[in-house]
Amino acid sequence: MAELFARDTLSSQRWRRRLVPNQPFVVGRTTSIFPVSWDKQVSSKHASLTWNGVQLEVRKIEEAVNPVFYDSRPRISFMLDPGKHFVIGHTEFLLENSEPTMPLPHRSPKTEVTIRPEEIRATSFRKTPGRIELLTELVSKMTASTDHEQLLTIMLQQLLQGIPHSTDVVLLEKEKSEVAAYIPVAWDSRDGISTPGGCSQGLIENATKTQMCVLHVWPVDSDSDASDYTQVAGHDWAMCIPLKIKLHQEAALYISGTRAQLDGNLPEVELLQDDIKFAELVGSTFANLSRNLALERRQSQLNQFFTPGLLDHVVTDLESFLAPREAELMVMFCDLRGFTSAAEEHFDRLIPYLNQTSETLSLITSAILAQQGVIGDFHGDAVMGFWGWPVPMEENPLGAIQAAWELVQKLAGEDFLCGESAPKAGIGMAAGPAVAGMIGSRDQVKVTAFGPTVNLASRIEGLTKPLGIPLLLDENVVAKLQCHPSMPPSSFVRLGCFRLAGLRHPTQVFTVNTGDHDWVPTFSQALVQFEDGDWQSAGRLLQEIPGSFGPGKLLTQFMQQHQQRPPADWDGVIARTGK
């Protein structure tokens, strides 16, 4: 495991960060995860770094004022091997690639103290020199932190400062595996550089299974029987405090060191109990703030998919409420038109086109969220939204069509049946069963839906281009909407029956009838005759339809391709081979 260790050569300030292979990051005075706030000679963004699994690539950012020194010489870029360091200002950056020793088995300690966390908080410090000040400083620093790594660094340093006879501090997290062992994930030591030795496996198991704060003391006098007791990593005392951090991560704080110096008449174990109280307060503060940050991050992520009103429906735990399940959904795909070709033609102006597209995508997502829909996914310059999960469609039965109509008005205009210009977006909607839910890890959330209904909505959206109609619906959407008193049968116009690419069953496709065109009934009659095989009558009626009406044009072209005669196996369905 590779880590970057940064320390101020003029003070005790430092941090240690784990490196992720092939994930670039920036070191600077104001960067969020790798900040060097103590050194004014470090620019806001000073160097870009990438760990490739073997070496650390370091590149000075052009805007950075002061040089980056490696091997006592200023460098613009270089490759750093583990064990080597570079310097910016009065800050030294050391690359380490070492694994901490895993917990080790041991025999019984000389003394064991087990205390419930609530009992610790109810007692007072026996000796409090400087600890109240440290705790006040801790709260101030931690509440100003913006991420888990910053909280972790502050906690480890405050523990070493507040427990002078401690040597190592280790945070262990429980693995998500069958073995479910606790493994070291972060640590700090008195000298700031050394990798901690092994922790006591028995002590960790005792504390985590009982959810107690446990202290072990091993003998150090030469007269004791060494065969009865075993020290761990050269330490004669250690304590372990169970924690719950992030959202649901089980963890343990392990602190160890050499024998405490007795102060007056205070017994040794009582002195270490003071240390337990201090460590428990620091650890619980860290754990609470870590969970708060994780919840804020989760809420921020969920806000990208849900409106606050939708999340107000949560009456049980969030995990169960958002778990994937089968539901009756209404799915909408909205795809922007012309961006791909424009980007190819004006590749030298990609940023302006990207900004324009982002603004339009924001308009689409806002319309979906405003109607209590869920943002399911982004497919290039297309957005997928759906209704029916996590709450049933009955809660907002017209939400989907209202969102779609708002987008039609903003992107195509109300007179979309015979628009003078091509629509700026295509919207396809389908209704039916699908699986929807939140998938991913606890910290990285993705909400989506999948199943035949989703595929059908995507295919219907693709049909908007050849038909020239920006809003198309399948028969299930129309059936559900017609159940509402405000949506009579005349609200929709059937445009034909299509067998869409990749789908076996034909689909009746509709659009919204604005009531502004008196030729709509004529088209409906022509469509019936076309499907019945009376193409001569259908052709005569279609001549009365405006040439800019895409569905009428498509029927005319289809009949011309077949020499005005229906095929022998004609069933009234138009097969589409492409999206």
Cα–Cα distance between 559 and 568 in angstroms, integer?
A: 14
Any idea what DSSP says for residue 33?
S
Q: What CATH number does residue 324 fall under? A: 3.30.70.1230
Would you say residue 313 has pLDDT above 70? no
Which token pair is 9?
Answer: 């050569």
Name the pLDDT band for 345 (thresholds 50, 70, 90).
Answer: low
- Residue 236 covered by a domain: yes
Q: How confident is the model at residue 380 (pLDDT cuts 50, 70, 90)?
A: low
CB contact burial 248-278 (16+ within 10 A = b; e otherwise): ebbbbbbbbbebbeeeeeeeeeebbbbbbbb
- CA–CA separation, 276 vs 225, rounded Å? 27
pLDDT of residue 271: 65
CA 539, CA 548: separation in Å to the nearest integer?
A: 16
At 437-470, the pLDDT tens digits run 887 655 556 788 999 999 999 999 999 999 999 9
Instruction: Look at residue 106 and tell me if it is in a domain.
Output: no
Q: How far apart are CA 46 and CA 35, in angstroms?
A: 10
Does some domain include residue 522?
no
* 28 and 83 together in one domain: yes
Q: How far apart are CA 500 and CA 462, in angstroms?
A: 9
**Is residue 114's pLDDT more than 80?**
yes
Q: Could you report the per-residue pLDDT of 263-299, keeping only the tens digit for each? A: 444 456 666 778 888 999 999 999 988 888 887 777 7
Whether residue 203 sits in one domain with residue 181: yes
Residues 116 and 254 in one domain: yes
Identify the CATH number of the domain in which residue 48 sits.
2.60.200.20
How many other CB atoms are there within 10 angstroms of residue 404's CB atom?
26
Distance CA 575, CA 500 (A): 6
Kindly state whether residue 541 falls inside one of the protein's structural domains.
no
E strand or H helix at 430: strand 425-440
Tokens of 378: 């982004």
Distance CA 77, CA 79 (A): 7
Amino acid at site 204: I
Q: Are residues 400 and 478 in the same domain?
A: yes
Buried b / exposed e over 562-572, threshold 16 CB at 10 Å, is eeeebeeeeee
Rg of the chain's alpha carbons, rounded to an integer? 33
Phi first, then psi: give them for residue 475, nearest 5 degrees.
-65, -30
pLDDT per position as a tens digit, 401-412: 999 999 988 887
Terminal CA-to-CA distance of the chain, rounded, Å? 48
Given 232, 266, 299, the domain boundary residue is 299
Q: Which residue, 299, 329, 364, sits at the end of a domain?
A: 299
Which of the listed residues 46, 69, 97 is the one where a domain comes to its end? 97
Extract the tokens encoding 271: 């002195």
Q: Is the peptide bond before 390 cis (omega within 30 degrees of 0)?
A: yes
* Residue 576 included in any domain: no
- DSSP assignments along 173-196, one per residue: EE-SSSS--EEEEEEEETTSSSPP
At residue 510 the predicted structure's pLDDT band, cuts being 50, 70 and 90, is: very high
Q: Report the alpha-carbon distance of residue 118 to residue 528 in Å, rounded.
A: 77
Whether residue 373 contacts residue 385, with contact meaning beta carbons closer than 8 Å, is answered with: yes
Residue ranges making up the domain that contains 54: 2-97
Q: What is the DSSP letter of 394?
A: G
CATH of the domain at 144: 3.30.450.40
Element containing residue 238 per DSSP (H, E): strand 237-245
CA geometry: angle 28, 29, 35, nearest 5 deg:
75
Regarding whether 191 and 56 lie in a shared domain, the answer is: no
Using alpha carbons, select from 212, 209, 244 the residue that is nearest to residue 115.
212
Residues 312 and 294 in one domain: no
Does the global pTM surpass 0.85? no
pLDDT of residue 339: 58
Same domain, 116 and 69: no
Domain tally for the chain? 3
pLDDT at 141 over 70: yes
Q: Cα–Cα distance between 474 and 364 in angstroms, integer?
A: 21
Residues 295 and 312 in one domain: no
Q: How far apart are CA 424 and CA 383, in angstroms?
A: 14
Say whether both 147 and 262 belong to one domain: yes
**Averaged pLDDT for residues 338-358:** 59
**For the residues of 297-343, what is the DSSP string, one character each?**
HHHHHHHTT--HHHHTT--S-HHHHTS-EEEEEEEEEEEESSHHHHH
Q: Are residues 230 and 335 in the same domain?
A: no
Q: Does a structural domain hold residue 167?
A: yes
Highest average pLDDT, of 232-236, 266-270, 351-355, comes from 232-236
Residues 132 and 232 in one domain: yes
* Cβ burial 478-492 (10 Å sphere, 16+ → b, else e): bebbeeeeebeeebb
DSSP β-bridge partners for residue 244: 250
Helix, coil or strand: residue 77? strand
Return the percentage of the chain with pLDDT > 70, whole number. 83
Same domain membership, residue 477 and residue 410: yes
